[in-house]
Amino acid sequence: MISPKQSFVLFYGWFVVAAAFVITFVGFGSAYTFSSFLQPLQEEFGASRGSVSLVFSLAGFLYFALGVVSAPLADRYGVKVLSAIGMMLVGLGLLMAGRAQTILQVYAAYSIGIGVGVGSAYVPTLGAVQRWFVSRRGLASGFAVSGIGIGTLALPPFATWLISGFGWRSAYTTLGVIAIVLGVLAAFVMEDEPARRGLSPDGADSIRNTGSPQSGHDMSVGQAVRTRRFHALYLASLFGAFGVFVPFVHLVPYAIDHGVSAAVAVWLLGAIGIGSTVGRFFLGGIADRMGRETFLIAMYIGMASSLAIWSVAASFGLLLLFALIFGLFYGGWVAILPAVVADLFGARQAGRIIGVLYTSVAIGTLAGPSAAGFIYDFSQSYFIPIAVSAASNVVAVVVTAMVAYREAAPGAPL
């Protein structure tokens, strides 16, 4: 039996979590700098806001959709290999973006770099974390993906500073070098599962002894995707993602349109990062004790409510309030969703099942931010896309709650 002190200080699973933190920091932090580059790219290439927004949407589509491929590849070649390749691609993509001469070349750089790179590393990394933990799975997931929140806090303002001082091309080059160095180093700390080091998942013995239902059923991918629970998670993730990623592209331009300077507006993304980090750390741990599926529903409610605040926000103070609240629930959503998958379907195939599930997030990410940009180009207003984003999360609440509570009845199948 591992003592609490040993589990936090010596158990290798926490090193895996730390490596996952760095990988998500580099991958998603780099992706979410895009809002800082939106106006410079518009001005450089004479492009509309909708067409530039499509750069982020295409990358987001790829990095979520490719999980269905990267997870089985990680099972075959190992999470170290997939993560290292992914981080190299992220860095190379940023370097290529800095040398782009047309908007189409920016599309290619982001698709190959951010899209394929993050897609190669993200789901295998999440799947590995799920296999290292049982009783603390939500907490471990929260720590691992809190790199997204810290990356959102740190890298967009850093990118804005680089752009203002050295230009957008040099900014991309600097970010690319950082991504390669930090990301590849972290990849080599990753480990697929505790058995590789002669260990057991942290807390696994206590879960077996208590017979907790959250130990999972170790379903195959084929079995999982045929369940009503998976169908509900898939639809909810699709609708939720449609609205969730709109602020990451359009919040800074929205603030600038309302008279906030670019140097100040970019800190709204930092505020999302702060809220997101709090959500990942604290909500993940709370959900371990109070029920992760119920908390998933609460995250959709919170994101829908906060997006409603954004729809009427015209001052920096109200936008800051929105960013903090939205970030809190967004962070909780990202942390809890993989743990819910492992709870319902088991940890053994969690990476592959998460990969299939995240194709829904990919579709939502492709559609949401780009649609918001094109609607803005047509109407010169963000009210409609923000309202639709909030409504899509309401749909996610309804879908998840209906199936979860129906299937929770005694004797009900998944």
pLDDT at position 82? 95
Domains of the chain: 14-407 (1.20.1250.20)
Q: Where is pLDDT greater, at 304 or 123?
A: 304
Nearest of 89, 82, 79, 91 to residue 180 by alpha carbon: 91
DSSP secondary structure string, 30-50? HHTTHHHHHHHHHHHHT--HH
| CA angle 155–156–162, rounded 5-degree value | 85
Average pLDDT score over residue span 301-324: 95
Please give the pLDDT value at position 51.
86
Q: Which two tokens stand for residue 405?
A: 């509570």
Quote the pLDDT of residue 217.
64
User: Does the pLDDT at position 211 exceed 70?
Assistant: no
Q: Please determine, for residue 348, whether its predicted confidence score (pLDDT) is greater than 90.
A: no
Question: Does the reported pTM lie above 0.85?
Answer: no
- What pLDDT, in 10s, does the model give residues 222-270? 899 999 999 999 999 999 999 999 999 899 999 999 999 988 998 998 8
Provide the CA 90 distance to its chain's centre, in angstroms: 15
SS3 207: helix
pLDDT band at 7 (very low <50, low <70, confident <90, very high): very low
Half-sphere exposure of 81 (CA within 13 A, CB side): 9
